[in-house]
Amino acid sequence: MLLVHAFPLNADMWRPQLERVPDGWRLIAPDLRGFGRSRLPNGPGAPVTSLDDYAEDLEALLDHLKMDELVIGGLSMGGYVTLALFRRSPDRFSGMLLADTKAEADTADGRTARVAMRTLLSERGPDGVADQMLPKLLSDATRAADPALVDNTRRLIVSNHRDAIDQAIVAMMARPDSGPDLDKVSVPALVVVGEHDVLTPPADAERLHARMSRSILTVIPEAGHLANVERPTEFTRALHDFLVAHV
Please determine, for residue 238, whether its predicted confidence score (pLDDT) is greater than 90: yes
Q: Which CATH superfamily is domain 2-246 in?
A: Alpha/Beta hydrolase fold, catalytic domain (3.40.50.1820)
- What is the C-alpha separation between 36 and 25, in angstroms, rounded? 24
Span 118-127, average pLDDT: 97
User: Using one digit for the tens of pLDDT, what is the confidence trace for 54-71?
Assistant: 999 999 999 999 999 999
In this structure, are residues 231 and 223 in contact, taking their beta carbons and an 8 Å threshold?
yes
pLDDT band at 40 (very low <50, low <70, confident <90, very high): confident
Average pLDDT of the chain, as a whole number: 95
In this structure, are residues 189 and 94 in contact, taking their beta carbons and an 8 Å threshold?
no
Please determine, for residue 185, whether its predicted confidence score (pLDDT) is greater than 70: yes
Span 115-142, average pLDDT: 97
Peptide bond into 135 cis (omega under 30): no
Per DSSP, the three-state class of 185 is: coil
Q: Provide, rounded to the nearest whole percent, the portion of the chain with pLDDT above 90.
A: 94
Under DSSP, the state recorded for 72 is: E
Under DSSP, the state recorded for 60 is: H
Span 159-181, average pLDDT: 95
Span 180-193, average pLDDT: 97
Q: Provide, rounded to the nearest whole percent, the portion of the chain with pLDDT above 70.
A: 98
Which uninterrupted H or E stretch holds 162?
Answer: helix 162-173
**pLDDT value at residue 116:** 98
Under DSSP, the state recorded for 13 is: G
pTM of the model: 0.96
